[in-house]
Amino acid sequence: MELVQAYDRYDPNPRFQKFVADYTAMFDEPPGYTAVLTYDAATVLFAALKTKHPDQRLSDALVTMPPHPGLNQELMFDQFGDGNRGIYFVTIRDGKFIHQK
């Protein structure tokens, strides 16, 4: 079976690997997509809140923000507020996710 996922569970990026280690230590299981995407959403939200002008709407701050580092990729929004998140293909074989490159 082939699937599309919103994050790369095999990303060797040290930032992602630290998140996986910290999450696993705290919850005794590796993070799933909801944990990864929620972390990215929270960090980009906090960055926008930190950098927005007092009279600026949060939505405007998000779309004018430069790319922000996420766990797997840079996060940014277009002028309509749509994100740029890439997708990752995996195959399930013998009950395991196999990364397709």
Give the integer Cα–Cα distance in Å for 6 and 28: 22
Q: What digits encode the pLDDT tens for the residues 67-89?
A: 999 999 999 999 888 988 888 88
Sign of CA dihedral 26, 31, 34, 38: positive
- Residue 87 or residue 18, greater confidence: 18
Q: Please say if the pLDDT value at position 94 is more than 80.
A: yes
- Give how many domains the chain has, as a whole number: 1
Give the pLDDT confidence score for residue 9 in this predicted structure. 87
Q: What digits encode the pLDDT tens for the residues 20-52?
A: 999 999 999 999 999 999 999 999 999 999 999
Give the integer Cα–Cα distance in Å for 2 and 100: 9
Give the integer Cα–Cα distance in Å for 98 and 29: 19
- Residue 13 or residue 96, greater confidence: 13
- CATH number, residue 77: 3.40.50.2300
Q: Please say if the pLDDT value at position 5 is more than 90.
A: no
pLDDT grade for 16, boundaries at 50, 70 and 90: very high
